[in-house]
Amino acid sequence: MKRRDIAWGLGLAMAGLAGRSAFAQAYPARQVHLVVTGTPGQGTDIVSRLIAQKLSERLKQQIVVENRAGAGGNIAAEYASKAPADGYTLLMATNATHAANPAMYARLPYDPTADFTPISLVGLLPMMISSSPALPVSNVREFVALARSKPGAINVAVPSSSARVVLELFNQLGKVELFPVSYKGSGPAFIDLFGGRIQATIDTVSATMPQIAGGKVKALAVSTARRFEAVPDVPTLAESGVGDFDLAPWNGLMAPRGTPREIVNLLNMHVAAILAEPDTRKRMVDLGIQPASGTPEQFDRFVQGEARKWGDLIRKANIKAE
């Protein structure tokens, strides 16, 4: 090749890089939409609005939360997957949209892997197993021993599909046969627990904490690998002898596949800074969410591992979307 051709080619390449750099520096030039799987007031919605507010302050541009609830998060995920890959539509992904749903639904209107670019994990929502005060146990080891002495006789409320999957892992690792009783929400489950119609429940820490404070339930353990700072005195299931237990719902920020890397890195940097702020951490912990960030690559590996974990448990228990 002639020197002028080489120079011309390098010039085009540099111009392209300069163009991408300028684009990233200008981002965001207009409001950004954060698509949320839940309805207003639900846990994912609350944390999404907190992150959106903080991002708005940092990016000097409005981040609008757009609720598209339904079908276990599939409606929101499909909508976000088909948006332009320009950084102006983001998704607050969940363990449902990217780990559980591929195993619970016969078909999905989006591809959790091919259609999205991971940005950052945002937080874990530890689940807690708790029992009725009338049940003669004070810890998980005693609970497991009682369950083994009465296979299938202990009923456990599962007010969500996530709780159902956590129970499946508990049965496997604890080598017990706890019977799941499905509920449409935490309220009815706790009413039956108080009334003695069920003996235990698996629910989020945020839903369980008020019941603990009122002395209506006994906290036995949390489902994450580490103790949750909102309830530091409550041990983990792993600490309590239930294998290598580590399973919890989660939220994480994603963008449509093909979103420029400069924008992904910019958003990742700001999310990490937001989650490191003391007031943000306190607010999230108070909501029952353990802040958790990391690089886009770490989030990608995390999601892949979660998809295998949740998928295997769901298929083994034959859990189907309702």
161-171 residue pLDDT tens = 999 999 999 99
CATH architecture of 31-125+249-317: 3-Layer(aba) Sandwich (3.40)
CATH architecture of 127-222: 3-Layer(aba) Sandwich (3.40)
Q: Write down the domain spans for the chain.
A: 31-125+249-317, 127-222
pLDDT for position 1: 44
Averaged over 92-98, what is the pLDDT? 97
Is residue 11 scored above 50 in pLDDT? no
Domain 31-125+249-317 matches domain 127-222 at the CATH topology level? yes
∠ CA 124-208-125, nearest 5°, is: 5
Contact 180, 156 (CB under 8 A): yes
Averaged over 238-252, what is the pLDDT? 96
Is residue 4 scored above 70 in pLDDT? no
Looking at per-residue pLDDT, the higher value among 37 and 13 belongs to 37
HSE, side-chain direction, 13 A CA sphere, residue 269: 8
Is residue 76 scored above 60 in pLDDT? yes
DSSP state of 118: E
Helix (H, G, I), strand (E, B) or coil at 200: strand
Neighbours of 321 (CB within 10 A): 15
Under the banding of pLDDT at 50, 70 and 90, the label for residue 25 is low
Nearest residue to 91 via CA among 251, 233, 212: 251
DSSP state of 98: I
pLDDT for position 86: 98
Q: For residues 116 and 87, give the distance between their C-alpha atoms in angstroms, rounded to a whole number.
A: 12
Sign, CA dihedral 280-285-288-291, equals positive
Tens-digit pLDDT profile for residues 206-217: 999 999 988 999
Percent of the chain with pLDDT over 70: 92
Predicted model pTM = 0.88
Mean pLDDT (the chain) is: 92
Is residue 111 scored above 50 in pLDDT? yes
Under the banding of pLDDT at 50, 70 and 90, the label for residue 294 is very high
